[in-house]
Amino acid sequence: MKLIFVSVSFLHAFQYLLLLFTPNLFCNLCEGNYVINYLGTRGPKLQNFVIVSLIQLVCRITKFGWFDDDRFRETVKEATDFLGLASQDHYFIGLKILNNLVTEMNQPNPAMPLTLHRKIAGSFKDQFLLQIFQISLTSLNQLKSEAPDDFGHIPLDLALKCLSFDFVGSPVDESSEEFGTVQLPASWRPLLQDPSTLQIFFDYYKVNDIRVSKEALECLVRLASVRRSIFVEDPARSQFLSHLMLGTKEILLTGQGLADHDNYHEFCRLLGRFKVNYQLAELLNVEFYGEWIGLVAEFTTRSLLSWQWASNSVYYLLSLWSRLVTSVPYLKGETPSLLDETVPKITEGFITSRINSVQAILADNSLENPLDSVEVLQDQLEFLPFLCRFQYQSSSLYIINIMEPLLQAYTERSRLPAPGDADELSVIEGQIAWMVHIIAAIVKVRQVTGVSQETQELIDAELSARVLQLISVTDTGAHTQRYQELSKQRLDRAILIFVQSFRRSYVGDQAMHSSKQLYGRLSELLGLNDHLILLNVIVGKIATNMKCYAESEDVIDHTLSLFLDLATG
């Protein structure tokens, strides 16, 4: 019991007392591998929290003494020795030691200078990390049929920690194109080229235990994120990609495990990694690409329609599709990408799901409204413009066909002496707000794909005209009685966001001269033949908001932000 007390207490005090100790004192503390031997003789009978504390003590001392004495580097061998003992309990203690050691080496410690931490982590990575990852794979294969499901997560934990190690020795630059890429050393190449490495994680995904299946997917996400250059030859990369696509195809066909939200989310992340690390041409070269892309499209559409459940996961799916469509102009060869068939359905599914969400949120007050969060809206709409502009004529027609009846109904309600059914009007305002946000997102991104610049400007004008027409309706008739209603405030915030997006793309002397097609069409539709007339409309809306929304902080903030942008050019 004395050792247990010492381990728990000393672990917390260790890093603060460190500077008072000499390397020899640490060596004496571990003399005869006393703690390791204690775990070997008494470990199976100890409670788990005691085992964890003892292991943490060993691993922390190992890290702090790493460069002081060679004995500290024997911990990996000592942990591996546990795996050869007859008891299954010893086997798992050995895995836990390795697991905690990888964590300790990868995690900075406040009591250690960062430069020293990186040197130790680099030394540990170069000498032992590949060996430990191989141990995790061997354990996964051995335990697949022998160990209870409760223990399957232990070697998976170890594999995941190895794949999550900081291989580059410096903080990741999130603005870099390499963000999210796992920089495995070249020495790991043979393992990645072995098909059994990927397959073992797909096999463990099929285990009924949710924790096991989720961690298996997390490992697959990291393997799918391995740097392209790890494969020296194209055939090896193609084989790896084909295996990933085959495994995900089977999951898409069976739906196994996807009823669990965590699994669903990780699976979406896995699909999202395909276009980050692989070119569209490489995907097309896989024999069953057509079947795979069709299944991914169906899965995406179902996810969009299940917005209440999968709202945070859809981001990764839309990211995949946006990257695919932006690659089409660079595609060579005659193999059809099938994106012409699949992308419009996904675009329509997204728009339909947002429109349908308004009624559902009104009926259930416990649901959060995405229209109330700028960050959520940005995440949901970030990739939509690329999908819409891929088949811009058909997607814009779909948007207009939804927008027109809503505008007509909203205009008719403005002519009534009183607003009428408040809930019905709130639904109309919410649906229009979504459409305005969608149009704002599209107008903000001027990217030419599939049609000419002139055609895109004309379509931008058609969509923008619907929103600009709306400005003259929101502050007339019965709608002037609804400034206190949240649904109207959401609509006016959406209009302000649209104006910001439109201003950045099409307002200004330079934009005016380079956008003659757009202003020509706006002149035909609304009589707005240049940006100065449009600015008068915008300033009028700003004045109305300042007058009528004195008690709505959000609307006033958006209005002032727009005014400041206009004033500063």
CA 197 vs CA 95, 133, 190, 215, 276: distances in Å: 18, 11, 10, 15, 21
pLDDT (0 to 100) of residue 173: 46
Is residue 22 pLDDT above 80, yes or no?
no
Give the phi and the psi of residue 226 in degrees, each rounded to 5: -65, 140
Cα angle for residues 163, 164, 167 (degrees, 5° grid): 85
Q: What angle do CA 45, 152, 204 make, to 5 degrees?
A: 175
- Among 33-42, 216-225, 517-526, the least confident range: 33-42
pLDDT greater than 60 at residue 509: yes
Residue 260 has pLDDT above 70, yes or no: yes
pLDDT of residue 211: 84
Q: Which two tokens stand for residue 491?
A: 């609509």
- In this predicted structure, the answer to whether residue 172 has a pLDDT above a threshold of 60 is no
**pLDDT, greater one: 33 or 537:** 537
| pLDDT tier at 395, thresholds 50, 70, 90 | very high
Q: What confidence tier does 176 reach under pLDDT thresholds 50, 70, 90?
A: very low
Decide: 294 and 250 in contact? Cβ < 8 Å.
no
Cβ–Cβ < 8 Å for 528, 467? no
* Number of helices followed by number of strands (H, E) in the chain: 30, 0
> Residue 504: helix, strand or coil by DSSP?
helix
Domains of the chain, by residue range, sit at 1-168, 188-302, 371-527
Biggest alpha carbon distance in the chain? Answer: 91
Partners of 182 in the β-ladder: 226
pLDDT at 16: 44
Give CA angle at 436 (431, 441), nearest 5°: 130
Q: For 372-391, what is the mean pLDDT?
A: 90
Burial class (CB in 10 A: 0-12, 13-18, 19+), 292: buried
Of all residues in the chain, the percent with pLDDT exceeding 70 is 89
CA of residue 137 relative to chain centroid, distance: 27
Q: What is the pLDDT of residue 381?
A: 93
Closest CA to 105 of 135, 65, 71: 65
Residue 130 pLDDT > 80: yes
Rounded (5°) CA angle 259-265-271: 110
Tell me the per-residue pLDDT of 401-414, one tens digit each, with 9 for 90 and over: 999 999 999 999 88
- Mean pLDDT of the 212-224 span: 95
Compute CA distances 179 → 165, 167, 172, 441, whole Å.
14, 13, 7, 24
pLDDT at 517 over 70: yes
Average pLDDT, the chain: 87
Angle formed at CA 513 by CA 528 and CA 473, multiple of 5 degrees: 20
**DSSP-based three-state secondary structure for 464:** helix
**Is residue 495 within 8 Å of 472, Cβ to Cβ?**
no
> pLDDT value at position 13?
52
Q: Which residue has the higher pLDDT, 247 or 232?
A: 247
Provide the pLDDT confidence category of residue 153 given band limits of 50, 70 and 90: confident
Q: What pLDDT does 20 receive?
A: 45
pLDDT of 76 higher than 80: yes
Mean pLDDT of 18-40: 60
- Dump pLDDT digits (tens) for 181-209: 899 999 999 999 999 999 999 999 998 78
What average pLDDT does range 50-73 have in this prediction? 87
Please give the Cα distance from 393 to 243 (Å, whole number): 37
Which residues are CB-contacts of 165 (< 8 A; sequence separation ≥ 6)?
102, 106, 121, 125, 129
Pairwise pLDDT comparison (175 vs 313), residue with the higher score? 313
DSSP structure class, residue 226: B
What is the signed CA dihedral for 131, 132, 133, 139, rounded to 10 degrees? 110
Tens of pLDDT, residue by residue over 272-307, are: 999 888 899 999 999 999 999 999 999 999 999 888
Q: How far apart are CA 459 and CA 398, in angstroms?
A: 12
Mean pLDDT of 237-262: 95
Q: What is the pLDDT of residue 513?
A: 67
